[in-house]
Chain A
């Protein structure tokens, strides 16, 4: 099932992609994303089924927030996948519980999700 099935909504990443996007957001600092070597860029791009849609939303976020880099928290890249998923879930839950959200084309994203979309746009 697509996550945003409304016909008037732009194509956008699915739930699995958004979860994975959260993982990248805590793994990849913004500067690294902009100057990313090919493997990292590929990893970011691989998070989305519909990369153009994700990048479109990411550009909206970038237009609202000039530089997402300071908002991104570098983290060791050597965590096991399970730990990453748990951390992503915590980040999302923390964002939503705190009301730390961003509005992109009307959709309400957690800050973590929005930053990852921005990374996709930058990559």
Chain B
């Protein structure tokens, strides 16, 4: 469904992403794990059209995306809950959701659906989003991306800065979203949580994919366990 081939991305003179290829099949959860600065966010930014790659291709159902503007990529069916949540703090929860569904005409049922996923957003719909807790902001970021009705949703470190209990809730909801038909590309430093819910995984190190396999195999891979799961 989503296919990245030989992607190279530069930041100024520095090559941040080197020859990355990965694919996400319809209905999958694919986790991309790696350390801080490995290039995970850069890949997502390149997919979403925020950063033009040097070379390589990104296609969704065969349609080339690399030349499209960011807002048109959303229309093609890819939306993103960006790094550090990126909610609009000056807008209310409701207005944030309205923006998430900007490309569509939202019905009350659309809102009810995300309020069903995250009841706390429903309770706080008129609250200014900047006053939400970190977990609630992450819920809002995911809901907002969902309202674009994407074929593939990109999630950039949803566990960042959240308490373990809230991370658990968020990851359960990601599974639920996936079961209801949205394909997920999940970028995480929290390798354990990310691989546990994923079908397949990729490991990225300094801009290159060094490993890819079924998620449960990666969970039991010695190198992965040493490097990312804190085991010796």
Whether chain B is bound by chain A comes out as no
